[in-house]
């Protein structure tokens, strides 16, 4: 530390620090008021959303008790007769499964893979996955046997439907 600093320099430096800290105190006081207002606004909105959530949840529970919702049953495996004597490709297996679906039913590659793995595990060398089925479904789309309902991307799957 330099001991040869003049009193005027020390006073000047201290005045600078005083000005800086006064400005910071005023700034943070303004921020405190702003954040208090924002907190009150969000607390009010949170209370409304919680109230409506509870009302909706109780109404949905009551409706669920009255109407017992069941997922649509998958067509029985007996509808698809597969020859046991010769191998079948994944695309052909997927095409047969899709042919058994309803006209307005939509599906994704992962959903088709899951259904194939459940219904025909013995027909495949290894379990089907969404990526392999994505290739098969694009092939069927190119042949004109499917329609694209929603285009897929790197983050979400494409959604397909039967050609009408």
Overall domain count for the chain: 2
Distances (CA, A) of 37 to 17, 42, 45: 30, 9, 12
Write out the residue range of the structural domain in which residue 91 sits.
77-162
Q: What is the pLDDT of residues 70-117, one digit of tens each?
A: 555 555 544 555 666 666 888 888 988 998 888 889 999 999 999 998
Domain boundary among 69, 88, 109: 69
How many whole angstroms separate alpha carbon 153 and alpha carbon 109? 13
pTM check: above 0.85: no
**Do 88 and 154 share a structural domain?**
yes
CATH number at residue 122: 1.10.10.10
**Do 146 and 95 share a structural domain?**
yes
């Amino acid at each position: 530390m330099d001991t040869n600093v003049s009193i005027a320099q020390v006073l000047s430096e201290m005045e600078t620090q005083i000005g800086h800290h006064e400005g910071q105190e005023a700034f943070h006081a303004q921020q405190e008021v702003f954040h208090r207002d924002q907190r009150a606004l969000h607390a009010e909105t949170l209370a409304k959303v919680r109230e409506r959530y509870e009302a909706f949840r109780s109404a949905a529970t009551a409706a669920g008790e009255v109407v017992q919702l069941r997922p649509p049953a998958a067509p029985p495996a007996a509808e698809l007769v597969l020859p046991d004597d010769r191998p079948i490709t994944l695309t052909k297996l997927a095409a047969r499964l899709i042919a058994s679906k309803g006209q307005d039913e939509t599906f994704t590659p992962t959903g088709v893979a899951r259904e194939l793995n459940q219904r025909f595990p013995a027909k495949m060398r290894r379990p089907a996955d969404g990526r392999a089925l994505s290739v098969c479904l694009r092939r069927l789309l190119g042949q004109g046997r499917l329609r694209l309902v929603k285009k897929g991307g790197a983050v979400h799957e494409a959604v397909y439907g039967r050609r009408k």
